[in-house]
Structure 1
């Protein structure tokens, strides 16, 4: 999770707040998740994924090379969806 957060140039506190965590505990909880002291519940991982623009599966993949492939595929798919939306708006 730390790598994903740093890719987005986001602080621990900002990630926590955007994922709707309590302001008083956001930074420390993110730190615990990043250091594998505590595992976040799936629903919270989904919020992190939305905030960071990544698929949930990225956070559950142990192999870093495979995680990068998941992220690449996700980006291709999301770019394709936005291109389709743009084309549809032009047709209207």
Structure 2
């Protein structure tokens, strides 16, 4: 069941954990990379992943940078769209702009 806020519980934690594991990183490594003291980094990242705490926006932004994903990826509810965000995030800004412009042109041409 989706809560009143309309957000899926622990979505951000699931995204963080999935990407961190994809990279083969420990919770401690991720925490240290975003500036959390080494002695508490594992516990703090664990709390985010388990959904005990949601990271503040600035922390989520730092986590996204460390994981090399767009911030929107952490908040995206749809699995296919989150995969698309990961792929778009790998492109250069120029390539993304070109791709989006071409897509928009195609939409304008469709009946």
Same fold (TM over 0.5): yes
User: Which runs of no fewer than 5 residues in structure 1 stay unpaired?
Assistant: 82-92
- TM-score of the aligned structures, taking structure 1 as reference length: 0.80
CA RMSD of aligned residues (A): 1.7
Q: Match of 2:29, SS?
A: helix
Moved over 4 A (4+): 78-81
User: Bigger relative contact order, structure 1 or 2, given CA contacts below 8 A and separation 6+?
Assistant: 2
User: Which runs of no fewer than 5 residues in structure 2 stay unpaired?
Assistant: 1-15, 97-111
- TM-score of the aligned structures, taking structure 2 as reference length: 0.67
Aligned residues: 81
Aligned equivalent of 2:72: 57
